[in-house]
Chains A and B, each alone.
Chain A
Amino acid sequence: MTSGGIKPGSIKRAVAASALFALTMFGGVASANPQPGQLNMTRGASTWSPEAYFLNNVALGVCVVIGILVFGAMFIAMFRFRKSRGAVAEKWSHNTTLEIVWTTIPVIILIVLAYLATGGLRTFADTTGSQMTVKVTGYQWKWRYDYVEYQGKAIDKVGFMSKLDRESDETRQLNSGLDPHNVKVGDENTYLLNVDKPLVVPVGTKIRFVITAGDVIHSWWVPALGWKMDAIPGIVNAAWTNITEPGTYRGQCAELCGQDHGFMPIVVQALPKAEFEKWLAEQEAAATPPPAQPAAPAPASTAAAPKTAAVDAPVSQGHQG
């Protein structure tokens, strides 16, 4: 459990907004979703996401310091050594000590950065000990989520397509005449960042994602989780997250995948464990046809998608394109 960042909440949000510029600069934005005027990476809402955030801040700090030194020296040179101020050019063109120093110091800085980054990589690569598995499949231009396993128990028949919500989809048509600013959920503008059916997951649970694609390469990215992972046809990639705070986290496909690449968002809804378990039980119940009914009621075309739950009809599967 990391937390320690600023928690969601309107009062704290107001405090954060009025805080120092430096605070804003370093991601004092409360929400994990993009904010107008946001200047830095989100700290995220998972146990791992602060790794990327921390590394980003350290590297940015290092670059700013080196930048001030180098550009400072340049500007001093430009003012001191002007011909118009009577500067006479010197003849030297070599200084071994200086060259050794400015080769060595960057090496030391790089070793420190490499050490920090290696730690982050190792923890990210460790997908063992997960308590839940979700299979993510990218399609042109929607996502499919299949719940594989929760707390060691296999889950059958809970899976659904997740695609751009209708309001965004209507607004985003060329010359639709609709204002993207009006696409809202509550106070939050969700234009192009909302879906018909979000991925629902529990907090405080190490969730393993197995990620693949059915047609072209996509990339599954929710900034609040701290990473993106390419969804590649024929390859199954693994990644994990452990979300620390309940909330709705939004992301987008991050690999060019055709004309509607910009229109296949990802929404992860993180619920407290008890609520999630209740939700999962409902989904399982809905997916299992009541025993009394005869034959298959066939809520949607099923041949291609045996795992499809009876939810917002995933029109066609059309995979292996």
Chain B
Amino acid sequence: MAHAATHDHHHDDHHGAPKNFFVRWCMSTNHKDIGTLYLVFSLLMFFIGGSFAMVIRAELFKPGMQLVQPYFFNEMTTMHALVMIFGAVMPAFVGLGNWMIPLMIGAPDMALPRMNNLSFWILPFAFSLLLSTLFLPGGGPAGGWTMYPPLSLQGDSVAYLVFAVHLMGISSIMGAINIIATILNMRAPGMDLLKMPVFVWSWLITAFLLIAVMPVLAGAVTMLLTDKYFGTSFFNAAGGGDPVLFQHIFWFFGHPEVYIMILPAFGLVSEIIPTFARKPIFGYKAMVFAIASIAFLSFIVWAHHMFAVGLPLGGEIFFMYATMLIAVPTGVKVFNWVSTMWGGSMTFETPMLFAIAFVILFTIGGFSGLMLALAPADFQYHDTYFVVAHFHYVLVTGAIFAIIAGTYYWLPKWTGRMYSETWGKIHFWNSVIWVNVLFFPQHFLGLAGMPRRIPDYNVAFANFNMISSIGGFLFGASQLIFLGVIIHAVWFSKKKAPDRVWEGAKGLEWTLPSPAPYHTFDVPPVIHDDELAHGHVED
């Protein structure tokens, strides 16, 4: 497939990367460099957010307060969530999208490269603003990442929090516009929409979700800001406002937001499983349709986060039924992944191991999600550790496992060198064991009656909390292996990666050399259907 190489004879500005560090990284308009920036940033945030989680698990190691004051504990839970959601998971997916979408659809770069630079470089400022609050006299935000008023308005860092969220939102919206513009306008001739890899589809749909809901969040936090500093009473009952209004607005953003964090993960896993099963994805169109259905449903289920706020009966029933419906397309996706494996010829390299763990553990998170959807049972589950277990199964063993799987999958393409398969497997087994030791007992804690977001607890909850904390420390430590594997693969690995890194890998990105040249697809590739991951769509 020689068409893949860089032919830059008619663009004399297309050489290698700039030599100057500042020019290359800070002024970059190259999708690969910006993708790398996003990924490095997200890894940094993953460790910062993870260190907050370590403080939480250390305090909860045994009953009694040993390490931190309760208010600082609340700062940790709040900052852990904000950093992990907006700093680690979302930028990681944007980074993967930036790097891979142009390569997967045969585009030379993102459609709007300067905006791409801006949408990344906003983020370090947003998070500096947010994290700086921990060092300021008033302390960090401590009202939970959900920022429910009136509690969140009691904090001294409301303005910092609101401006940081605004910046993150602007960054996300620009990133989403860029992805939509790229996918809709820059596909190589012959790359029809229904020939696109599932990962590209999942990002296209996610980008629409982002554009739809990020402005809603911006509106909600702006109202918090004016309630706090400008005398408005949007959420202040004493002034004629309604604290529950905030929750409706927040979760109208918040529920699509959680799918923003999982749909690209579905896409990643849908790339990885067919590669290592050496068999095309089962039900390509059903997969795409399922993602779109889940995205649609995400807009009409928000109040299932609010079953205990005193909704009217009709509201409870509507949101319960709508939420339960999500199980159908999600089930279809899981069944399709299993069917893709069935009849395949499987090998179990690190990306595949993480993808399989994703399918199993995300499904467990889906099961607890179905249980939480049942409103009468949710009257018990709500705001307990059962919920904490649920969303960590879908976000850690869901989103983050998929991101790790994607990183191992494409790392050789990015660096041109193979990572250490042995250490990758060590990382996998440590992660998958300790993450379950960490989160599975939390189901029991929640069922037994332990509320979430508490710094201390009755001795009845002591044994499972200690197990969970041990799992937490070891899961956290295991991620240092990941860091080591990446550093080794980027700078030290001697093993050269072939162009088609994986035997069963299909798709345009594998027709390129490893590492992918600085500029690719200056000339649109010729699309051969049998070269595409899901090129034969006869159904």
Contact = CB atoms under 8 A, between A and B. Distances in A.
Contacts of A171: 64
Interface in A230-252: 230, 232-235, 237-238, 251-252
Given A261-B454, A262-B455, A60 B281 contact: no
Interface stretch (A62-70, A144-152, A276-284): A62-70
B308 A34 contact: no
Contact of A259 (B71, B448, B459): B71
B538 interface: yes
Interface residues of B, number: 102
B379 A124 contact: yes
B377 interface: yes
Interface of A: 33-42, 51-53, 55-56, 59-60, 62-63, 66-67, 70-71, 73-74, 77-78, 81-84, 87-96, 98-99, 102-103, 106-107, 110, 113-114, 116-118, 120-122, 124-125, 171-176, 178-181, 189-193, 211, 215-217, 219, 221, 223, 226-230, 232-235, 237-238, 251-263, 320-321
Nearest to A192: B458
Nearest to A38: B448
B449 interface: yes
Nearest to B68: A174
22 contacts: A33-B460, A34-B461, A35-B460, A36-B459, A55-B374, A56-B374, A70-B338, A89-B277, A93-B281, A107-B328, A110-B325, A114-B320, A118-B317, A191-B459, A193-B458, A228-B382, A235-B237, A254-B451, A256-B144, A256-B453, A258-B74, A259-B69
B129 interface: no
B377 A56 contact: yes
B484 interface: no
Pairs of residues from A and B, 9 with the lowest C-beta to C-beta distance, nearest first: A234-B237, A120-B376, A262-B454, A237-B310, A227-B379, A63-B367, A38-B448, A90-B343, A34-B460
A106 B447 contact: no
B128 interface: no
Interface in B24-63: 63
A174 B382 CA distance: 28
A256 B328 contact: no
A56 B444 CA distance: 13
Contact of B459 (A41, A63, A175, A180): A180
A193 B461 CA distance: 12
Contact of B539 (A35, A59, A94): A94
A315 B316 CA distance: 38
Nearest to B69: A174
Interface string B309-328: 11011001100110011011
Interface stretch (B7-15, B101-109, B329-337): B329-337
A227 B338 contact: no
A81 B64 contact: no
B468 to A, nearest CB: 14
Contacts of B335: 70, 99, 102
